[in-house]
Amino acid sequence: MQYHYPTPREAGVRIPAHLRKERFCAGFLHGLRGGQLDDVKYFRLSFREGFRAAKLYLREIRRQRGILNFPIQGRFRFRAVADTRH
């Protein structure tokens, strides 16, 4: 199944003049696809800003569609202690 991912221009995101357009677009697409920042090349400024813009765009789209994002739930460990005061 093929998906159409919008470009920053189609999404209404303006690319700042001080950033490299190709890297910004690559970061935007990587963010839309659900990628993670796990490689050195992903930490360049233009790529990171595109990635961040994609995440903010996805958050806004989900909000418009009524999809809730729940906070991350932590794990709890409980230890039962025997009550010997009978």
Tell me the per-residue pLDDT of 33-48, one tens digit each, with 9 for 90 and over.
999 999 999 999 999 9
Distance separating alpha carbons of residues 78 and 17, to the nearest angstrom: 54
Task: Name the token pair of 67.
Answer: 């999809």
Q: Report which of residues 12 and 72 the model is more confident about.
A: 12
Range 7-17 average pLDDT:
94
- Specify the pTM: 0.75
Distance separating alpha carbons of residues 50 and 75, to the nearest angstrom: 32
Q: Report which of residues 11 and 70 the model is more confident about.
A: 11
Question: pLDDT tens digit string along 19-73?
Answer: 999 999 999 999 999 999 999 999 999 999 999 999 999 999 988 988 876 776 6
